[in-house]
Structure 1
Amino acid sequence: MKMLLTVEFPHEPFNTLVKSGKCGEVIGRILDTIKPEAAYFTEQDGTRAGLFVIDVKAPSDVPAFAEPFFLTFQANCKFRILMSPEDLRNAGLEELGKKWRD
């Protein structure tokens, strides 16, 4: 299942890793491990953030995606299910609309 993994990096230890020149290497190692379909970096709520499209095959895979960020950066991780247009077409919205209309 495709999911959006949002990672919020606290200023520390991120700042220390940037100053030591190790941040790029650490992030590269994590990305090589989790193999996201897409990866973007941005600001979110005043802190550094990463957005990663990942393929989660089973709920038990979630720690393998989150722990590298938890353990290395003390980061917050949020997982959201993603739907393609085809997924949305297959969701049965018409039937749900009929079932739940006023």
Structure 2
Amino acid sequence: MRLMLRFSIPAKKGNEAVADGTLGIAFKNLVEKVNPEAAYFHLDDGCRAGTIIFEATEQLSMAEINEPLFAMLEAKIDIQPAISLDELLEKL
């Protein structure tokens, strides 16, 4: 199943994570873990944010994805199923 993970990082924690290097580590670990088909990093309401599209596997639990973002970056996280336009049109 394809999932869309959206996250935002509070400005203060994001600034600290940039300064101590944990922001890059957290992003690298996330990308290596989920092997995304797309990854975008942007602003959301003035905070560092990202949107990652990936295929869920049975071996990958949400805790493996969420916990490092919570612990390292105090991130707010939203994960939901997503389908492509082609997949949607096939179902209509």
TM-score range, shorter chain: 0.7 to 0.9
- The residue type equivalent to 1:10 in the other structure is P
1:31 is aligned to: 31
Q: CA RMSD, aligned part only?
A: 2.0
- The residue type equivalent to 1:33 in the other structure is K
How far apart are the structure 1 equivalents of 2:71 and 2:29?
13
Counterpart secondary structure, 2:41: strand
Do structure 1's residue 61 and structure 2's residue 61 form an aligned pair? yes
> Normalised by the size of structure 1, how large is the TM-score?
0.73
Counterpart secondary structure, 1:66: helix
2:47 is aligned to: 47
The count of residues paired between Structure 1 and Structure 2 equals: 91
Q: Would you say the 8 A contact 2:26–2:68 is kept in 1?
A: no
Structure 1 unaligned spans of 5+: 94-102
Structure 2 unaligned spans of 5+: none
1:82 is aligned to: 82
Q: Which moved more, 1:8-17 or 1:44-53?
A: 8-17
> Normalised by the size of structure 2, how large is the TM-score?
0.79
Identical pairs, percent = 27
Spell out structure 1 runs of 4+ moving beyond 3 A: none
Please state how far the C-alpha of 1:86 moved relative to its aligned partner: 3.6
Please state how far the C-alpha of 1:25 moved relative to its aligned partner: 2.8
Q: Would you say the 8 A contact 1:56–1:62 is kept in 2?
A: no
Structure 1 residues 87, 19: CA separation in 2 closer, same or farther (over 3 Å shift)?
A: same
Q: Would you say the 8 A contact 1:34–1:64 is kept in 2?
A: no
Q: Which has the larger radius of gyration?
A: 1
